[in-house]
Amino acid sequence: MHYRADPASVFAMLTDQAFQERKVGTISKGAWDVRVQQEGESAVIVSHRTLPPEVVPDAFRAMISTSITITQTEKWGPAAPDGSRNGSIDVELSGVPVRLTGTLTLAPAPDGGCVEQVVGELKAKIPLFGSKVEKAAEPAVRAAIDAEGRIGAQWLAERS
């Protein structure tokens, strides 16, 4: 994702409780909550989103009887001298053996903006069907990342 703001401004946005509430509230189809905890120059963002059964992708419906709760944890480290930051992401689905783990990076862009990169591995630990479930879940993960980019760009534009 590319933002038209420097890494410090993007980090301030990502760790703003109101931004996280807008983001999680916009992408959620059911109940949700989010908490931002600053720890010195680092931060931890934890969100919980509930997917009601009717919006659960077909590949998961046979494995669940009720809703799925998604817990997403982002941990951001301190800024480097150039303003860049590294972090981690962990997304776990309750009741379904599917997990996304990866890295987060904020880095200055040549145009004065900032690039946020999410690199992760989505794993479904389901014998015989794991790769099918991973492929089915990938579009939803990409859509959530794209939505964060759109919501973030709008947030920054409203404040510049």
Residue 64 has pLDDT above 70, yes or no: no
- Write out the DSSP string of 96-137: S-EEEEEEEEEEE-TTS-EEEEEEEEEEE--TTTHHHHHHHH
pLDDT band for position 142 (cuts 50, 70, 90):
confident
- Write out the DSSP string of 72-101: EEEEE-PPPTTS-EEEEEEEEETTS-EEEE
User: One-letter amino acid identity for 35?
Assistant: R
> What 3-state class would DSSP assign to 60?
helix
Residue 62 has pLDDT above 70, yes or no: no
Mean pLDDT of 113-128: 88
Q: Which comes out higher in pLDDT, residue 61 or 24?
A: 24
Torsion of CA 131, 133, 136, 140, to 10 degrees: -120
